[in-house]
Structure 1
């Protein structure tokens, strides 16, 4: 491997192509806004790249180069230079000022010269730095910078993590770095309006430079060019070729009023950076702020480093101390706990426990450290001393992810009760669109404190060379877990205060926190998997995949690598000459949307869609599920309460939400989920719950009447839209009506309906207009919901769950339209999520009250799955229907469909 780092004996100057990175970041990162609607995608990408460059390259000196009125000097040479470039996108312009604030906060010098580009500033400074004995690292993704590469100047692209040295240029392009300007002059640059020599592409340009060395020599020996047409084109474009070389050549002698000492690496203003990153909601970046660089000439630490919490935990090692701590918890009536464990909480043993009491005292209870010579609590002694207080619901429990805590404690025979201050869950309710609610981030933002790092094993990141958590000494981890308990304790009151102000506290107390122990019980119980049945299905699917491959080859006319996008593009667009619908960064796109549209013109795209579907199901479920079976023969999925913007539960390892419901293969996979001997699986599923909620929330009389009379809603809609009697509705009309019924709640557009049904957009528009004419209440709901969300900044479910909709005010029309669709859907889908959670609690309460042995196993979409002894099946079916249909008082009835059988497929 080639060493890409500069010599440590020489100072290192890092020059960052700021202007180039701003545009690169803007196009690389999808539209992104803060909860207040501030556009930040370019700011985030730019900041990530700068911090990564500083971290990776460890410079002693650094500068950012910006364009400033950058076209003017070159337009004196050629007035058309960059004349075809439009101004920056409308939603990028406000981000420039934010980027300048980031630069000021991270304390990096800025260089710019009026009339010249960042390229010229960097070129000039690179020459100056070399003369003063510096190694120069230019941070850029622009290939034009190759022209200044030499033994002292190297390039680094942080997005691709690629270094470029002189040998790399030769290997990649076949020319020397200094010949890059000649290469660029020959091939031109359409983006910058630099003319090329007609007929000369990259390959020919390289061959000419290898033969002649540079443009000037080429022109003086033009008669040696072998191809007459190329020779003629060069001769007739002599002046423009020479002018192009001037345009693409970096200026290296600008007048820069700067000394190298002015560019010495400065300390990051940590306080200012934290405040700005918090304002911009760059929570993951907060931990990337450099602390200590270990580089000569670099600062030892950042300014105004956040003060750690003053925590000196008491180590509890004797039985008497353990009893004393349990007594203190009972007397206080509250405790905050952070468990030390490794791996999945379902199967993990408690290594230790961080404890924080309301009076600020902290402790660490070591249970299973391998360390010798240190007094630890015996696990059985811990269970004996703490079971009563941890199982007492009157003692409030706090922490971060209390479900994980309850699962780990259950492995020591303790059933946690009294979950109250789960700061992850409370933070989620305040901002459900946030990607994660990590304790370190919440502490940094709300307590202005930096939590000490934990061993990789404690955070699910143990590598081959890392020690197991139990192999760490008590001293190495005690403070880390105790301080986390104290941080969670301090966070909870402010979170509750904000929840009360937003009228979300009841949602936390009455729904999310009571659901937590039920989800833990479901995860522990798991569902039995018949691996033999799954294996039989896998054999069938293997044959189906093989048959589908042959089908793809038949339609393509030859064999090719179906998984290779370039080969697929070649077959679709070059060989079959199908129309190019959209392009990606590397050429024509062949994504799912494109294939669906192309399938109307040729059978190959449809065959590829089917192949991909089969392959994905095979890899996701048939190949993976057997590897996830625990020793008890069951699959134990993990449910996540704080993961989706709508309030829906999600599941992982495995994700059971994505098994297709209505396909034959989906049913085959469900057939492998079975009940234990002497039991049956009982499925209780809400019927058309989102449409029923739409009728209630929109208060549409036609839709309400249809549900009150238990009509086939799709047939009724078809009759209304097409103006025919219900008994005259045909299959196609009902299909269209079904598409509209389910699509309207998702903001279905004429374009979307037309694409799904394969009809003209004006026909689709007419269908939607007729729908709204008959269902006027729904049109009113759509309009009023979006208008209200624009004014308040959020939408709500019937139970007050909020989702903030900052993107509604985006100046990017595509982003705003997506936000409108989400705003329309959230009250419906979010309320459906609330209903199924209320149903889970109601059914579980009824099962307990009737002292049944039936247990809830799974929640998937609008369905609950139970494992019931044969003797209880009919009772459970009736109980589920009664409980689930009565959890809400709506203008239309909640309909519940139930079934039972040996397998999930039989029950569904």
Structure 2
């Protein structure tokens, strides 16, 4: 469709239907709250739409129109007008004030008239603007505004990116914009409680308007209406039809005390907007604001103390003498912030240069490998010789962002980083683990009110085909970008440490997360051997299984179709086979995993599709991908992320080794391709039922504690307790049910969830859970107390003080609140399990070094550690690791560790 926005040269007034935007945004964006529990979904959606409209339309003048006591005037005509509308949702009410603050921060004029709607304000102002020679763009998604469209007044829907002028109205509706009032009067508006003429829908209304032009003409020539029923309906509803037209027609002559010329678009109050967006945690929107100082308008309110601007003057270190002087300055200062310039995976990357910031705010950039003709730089070996001592010295504190990556790239230069202390990514994560990412540019923007200098795409791991490699940039191009980042990290650290101390999280940072950092770096650097021939053999086997499964799917479907196409699958399931539609998505019936599992009870096809999807996912995720990730040393080097999960668990990428299924045959086959080096074996040490043991300890439940102390089969013991039978009389099905309950309780398992998983009636599931809680009263108490305490404090925490803030517990949206309750119940258990395995890594690493063993830790997956030991050390290491992991904490129940060894991961597990 052609763009019908006004010409760029025309003075343009943009009028925004703010009240309509608010409700549209509220329903378009899922419930969202800040870490303090303030609802913000409508505010975020509103702000995004407004900014998009301003960006796309580039107006010279702008205003926002709001409703104000908006039903009053029309209810004088008809008391029923909007009378059935309920008040706004509870979690929307507190957002109205925040939206007004957004309009103030963005410097946008707000117009409203008591008793009238935003529609009337916009209608009136659009006419005034036309008379003054303006082009008008009304930003709205409401079709009622079509009535004011003409060559000078057009509509723009930012969500659909649709412009509407007279031609588009004619094309879509078959009528002229001026006829919209009459059209709406005929079809009514159920949302606003405006009565329609019975029997008249959009098609008939269009035909009548096309024939008669408007309602007045229609009434005067009623005898010409061909269909008797329609004619009689109009005749008998003459008065309500005329009233409806009054109700749907915009008031076009409100006494607005404003001139269009006064609505000149102004720059946002960047300081106020930055403060507000930071408060609301709109981190992505902060990027759209001008840099600090670019547009800081004066405010009547006393200004908050602003952080001092970041130092930017950067000294290039290009001689050996300057390197030595820099090393001496760092040692004398006792600390330094370092940001490395490199490209690619850290375990294999070479330093292009290094940005450094000292406590006196002097900035330095050391260029090492710039492939630019004439670049003056130091030799890499000279850098190592000069800086090795001070960078390895644990007494000199090191800061930066992602010190694990720094550790890896320095290791490639022969430097073993010591004294890692101020990793601002890690510190920020501990303060708010639910945050999606802790990028340095965002932290600087939010906490220092500063925009960091831009870097080439190669520095961000985003180099495209047309972008230069990082080394092809001159030292002068990169110096400030990396040095100022080092300075930003240096400035951020004290504030983050202060907040960690206040939240009693500093000990967790000092004693667990920071000491773990070099261990993870060594694991990534070491990698694990992959037997590509074994993987190829498995791949051939899986290819055959996939092909066989496709035939199985076609057999049960009765025909061939594209299994990967959701529309085609939906067609087969619900049209061809006429299976019941269990739930719907935005585009129609859902065929997700949960739906397929339920449908599998009625037909074999859904189960065949589940199996096909499982095989296909494993093939694409691992069998096809792992060979491409083998490095030059024939090993796979996964990347561990400490600052990624809300519970404190480590995650891994490239490849994600956390998702290889443990209990399936294919998962075990894939593990068979991970092998030890020649003359070595893999040693696997895995916590047994650690989350259940932690549940027993934290809930202080005597029955569960006793079962673990006696080393009983805890699932059989639970089955005996729940079903009232002797432990030796528990059958396989009872144990299966008990196992599901045991593991599900820690995740807030509901009767509905249990009935779905076990395929039993919900009432039966409710009875099972109730009997469980009768026998395990301590666990019921834990669940209730955990949620109640979280509502009071706003967070839950692990045994070691790791926190997760649970703002959504206060959500008025029941589904959101229930999900938060489940997360609150689970986090102390899963989070403590994460802390335990991390503590175990520290203990095992220390024990290996103390014994002078050559065994190395390779992987951490869920509750398991995988090590590579020389054949001669295997038995000693098995005992050492088992003891270290079992004694890492003193609980009310013993920690049990399963240990195995073998040539492959599958053999060891």
Alpha-carbon distance in structure 2 between the residues aligned to 1:643 and 1:162: 38
Partner residue, 1:295: none
How far does the alpha carbon of each residue in 1:13-63 deviate from its partner, in whole angstroms, 9 at most, with x for none?
222221122122222222222222211221122222222332333322111
Partner residue, 1:69: 69
How far does the alpha carbon of each residue in 1:810-847 deviate from its partner, in whole angstroms, 9 at most, with x for none?
33333332222222111111100001101111122222
Partner residue, 1:795: 796
How far does the alpha carbon of each residue in 1:637-666 deviate from its partner, in whole angstroms, 9 at most, with x for none?
211111111111111222221222212232
Does the CA-based 8 Å contact 1:271-1:306 persist in structure 2? no
Partner residue, 1:835: 836
Alpha-carbon distance in structure 1 between the residues aligned to 2:35 and 2:648: 17
Alpha-carbon distance in structure 2 between the residues aligned to 1:679 and 1:263: 76
Partner residue, 2:283: 283
1:862 shift after superposition: 0.6
Residue 355 of structure 2 aligns to a residue in which SS?
strand
Structure 1 residue 255 corresponds to structure 2 residue 255: yes
Partner residue, 1:733: 734
Partner residue, 1:495: 496
Partner residue, 2:15: 15
Partner residue, 1:621: 622
Structure 1 residue 49 corresponds to structure 2 residue 43: no
Residue 640 of structure 2 aligns to a residue in which SS?
strand
Alpha-carbon distance in structure 1 between the residues aligned to 2:211 and 2:378: 79
1:732 shift after superposition: 1.1
Alpha-carbon distance in structure 1 between the residues aligned to 2:785 and 2:672: 44
Residue 14 of structure 2 aligns to a residue in which SS?
strand
Superposed CA RMSD in Å reads 3.1
Alpha-carbon distance in structure 2 between the residues aligned to 1:302 and 1:700: 59
Partner residue, 1:296: none
Does the CA-based 8 Å contact 1:720-1:771 persist in structure 2? yes
Alpha-carbon distance in structure 2 between the residues aligned to 1:837 and 1:176: 70
How far does the alpha carbon of each residue in 1:239-260 deviate from its partner, in whole angstroms, 9 at most, with x for none?
7666655544444443322211
1:679/1:177 CA distance change after superposition, 3 Å = farther
1:316 shift after superposition: 0.8
1:116/1:878 CA distance change after superposition, 3 Å = same
Does the CA-based 8 Å contact 2:5-2:154 persist in structure 1? no
Alpha-carbon distance in structure 1 between the residues aligned to 2:602 and 2:789: 43
Residue 346 of structure 2 aligns to a residue in which SS?
coil
TM-score normalised by L of structure 1: 0.92
Partner residue, 2:478: 477
464-473 vs 318-327, which moves further: 464-473
How far does the alpha carbon of each residue in 1:341-378 deviate from its partner, in whole angstroms, 9 at most, with x for none?
23332333322211111222221112223333342122
Does the CA-based 8 Å contact 1:51-1:288 persist in structure 2? no
Structure 1 residue 31 corresponds to structure 2 residue 25: no
How far does the alpha carbon of each residue in 1:253-308 deviate from its partner, in whole angstroms, 9 at most, with x for none?
4332221122111232222222222222222222222469xxxxxx9734279763
Does the CA-based 8 Å contact 1:55-1:290 persist in structure 2? no
Does the CA-based 8 Å contact 1:308-1:450 persist in structure 2? no
Residue 346 of structure 1 aligns to a residue in which SS?
helix
How far does the alpha carbon of each residue in 1:582-607 deviate from its partner, in whole angstroms, 9 at most, with x for none?
44444444433333334334444434
Alpha-carbon distance in structure 1 between the residues aligned to 2:214 and 2:661: 62
Equivalent runs, 1:602-613 vs 2, <5 Å: 602-613=603-614
1:609/1:118 CA distance change after superposition, 3 Å = farther
Residue 642 of structure 1 aligns to a residue in which SS?
coil
Alpha-carbon distance in structure 1 between the residues aligned to 2:550 and 2:170: 42
Does the CA-based 8 Å contact 1:754-1:764 persist in structure 2? yes
Partner residue, 1:141: 141
Residue 534 of structure 1 aligns to a residue in which SS?
helix
Residue 739 of structure 1 aligns to a residue in which SS?
helix
1:729/1:409 CA distance change after superposition, 3 Å = same
1:781/1:853 CA distance change after superposition, 3 Å = same
Residue 803 of structure 1 aligns to a residue in which SS?
strand
Alpha-carbon distance in structure 1 between the residues aligned to 2:600 and 2:195: 40
Equivalent runs, 1:867-882 vs 2, <5 Å: 867-882=868-883
113-122 vs 182-191, which moves further: 182-191
How far does the alpha carbon of each residue in 1:460-492 deviate from its partner, in whole angstroms, 9 at most, with x for none?
334444443333333333222222211211221
Partner residue, 1:747: 748
Partner residue, 1:690: 691
Structure 1 residue 301 corresponds to structure 2 residue 295: yes
Residue 798 of structure 1 aligns to a residue in which SS?
coil
How far does the alpha carbon of each residue in 1:374-424 deviate from its partner, in whole angstroms, 9 at most, with x for none?
421222221221122212222211111111111222232322121111111
Structure 1 residue 384 corresponds to structure 2 residue 410: no
391-400 vs 245-254, which moves further: 245-254
Alpha-carbon distance in structure 2 between the residues aligned to 1:53 and 1:235: 44
How far does the alpha carbon of each residue in 1:747-766 deviate from its partner, in whole angstroms, 9 at most, with x for none?
21222222222222222222
Does the CA-based 8 Å contact 2:346-2:409 persist in structure 1? yes
Alpha-carbon distance in structure 1 between the residues aligned to 2:346 and 2:787: 42
Partner residue, 2:271: 271
1:509 shift after superposition: 1.1
Unaligned segments of structure 2, at least 5 residues: 299-305
Partner residue, 1:815: 816
1:733/1:387 CA distance change after superposition, 3 Å = same
1:778 shift after superposition: 1.3
Alpha-carbon distance in structure 1 between the residues aligned to 2:309 and 2:714: 60
1:895/1:217 CA distance change after superposition, 3 Å = farther
Does the CA-based 8 Å contact 1:51-1:289 persist in structure 2? no
Partner residue, 1:102: 102
1:199 shift after superposition: 6.8
Alpha-carbon distance in structure 2 between the residues aligned to 1:84 and 1:894: 61
779-788 vs 833-842, which moves further: 779-788
How far does the alpha carbon of each residue in 1:169-213 deviate from its partner, in whole angstroms, 9 at most, with x for none?
566666665565566556654434455666776677667777877
Residue 366 of structure 2 aligns to a residue in which SS?
strand
Does the CA-based 8 Å contact 2:798-2:832 persist in structure 1? yes
Partner residue, 2:303: none
Alpha-carbon distance in structure 2 between the residues aligned to 1:855 and 1:797: 29
859-868 vs 50-59, which moves further: 50-59
1:309 shift after superposition: 1.4
Partner residue, 1:432: 433
Alpha-carbon distance in structure 1 between the residues aligned to 2:412 and 2:234: 79
Equivalent runs, 1:663-742 vs 2, <5 Å: 663-742=664-743
1:67/1:719 CA distance change after superposition, 3 Å = same
Alpha-carbon distance in structure 2 between the residues aligned to 1:466 and 1:667: 42
TM-score normalised by L of structure 2: 0.92
Structure 1 residue 119 corresponds to structure 2 residue 119: yes
Does the CA-based 8 Å contact 1:440-1:451 persist in structure 2? yes
Alpha-carbon distance in structure 1 between the residues aligned to 2:239 and 2:261: 43
Does the CA-based 8 Å contact 2:291-2:451 persist in structure 1? no
184-193 vs 321-330, which moves further: 184-193
Alpha-carbon distance in structure 2 between the residues aligned to 1:557 and 1:200: 45
Does the CA-based 8 Å contact 2:199-2:233 persist in structure 1? yes
Alpha-carbon distance in structure 2 between the residues aligned to 1:219 and 1:570: 48
1:590/1:474 CA distance change after superposition, 3 Å = same
Residue 35 of structure 2 aligns to a residue in which SS?
coil
Alpha-carbon distance in structure 2 between the residues aligned to 1:208 and 1:882: 87
Alpha-carbon distance in structure 1 between the residues aligned to 2:587 and 2:174: 22
Residue 113 of structure 2 aligns to a residue in which SS?
coil
703-712 vs 210-219, which moves further: 210-219
Alpha-carbon distance in structure 1 between the residues aligned to 2:439 and 2:128: 46
180-189 vs 584-593, which moves further: 180-189
Does the CA-based 8 Å contact 2:291-2:450 persist in structure 1? no
Alpha-carbon distance in structure 2 between the residues aligned to 1:587 and 1:245: 36
Alpha-carbon distance in structure 2 between the residues aligned to 1:728 and 1:436: 51
Partner residue, 1:417: 418
1:731/1:149 CA distance change after superposition, 3 Å = farther
Partner residue, 2:157: 157
Alpha-carbon distance in structure 1 between the residues aligned to 2:84 and 2:558: 43
Partner residue, 1:340: 341
1:233 shift after superposition: 7.2
Partner residue, 1:505: 506
324-333 vs 140-149, which moves further: 140-149
1:721 shift after superposition: 0.6
Equivalent runs, 1:388-467 vs 2, <5 Å: 388-467=389-468
Alpha-carbon distance in structure 1 between the residues aligned to 2:470 and 2:363: 21
Residue 27 of structure 1 aligns to a residue in which SS?
helix
878-887 vs 851-860, which moves further: 851-860
Does the CA-based 8 Å contact 2:269-2:295 persist in structure 1? no
1:558 shift after superposition: 4.7
Alpha-carbon distance in structure 2 between the residues aligned to 1:738 and 1:17: 55
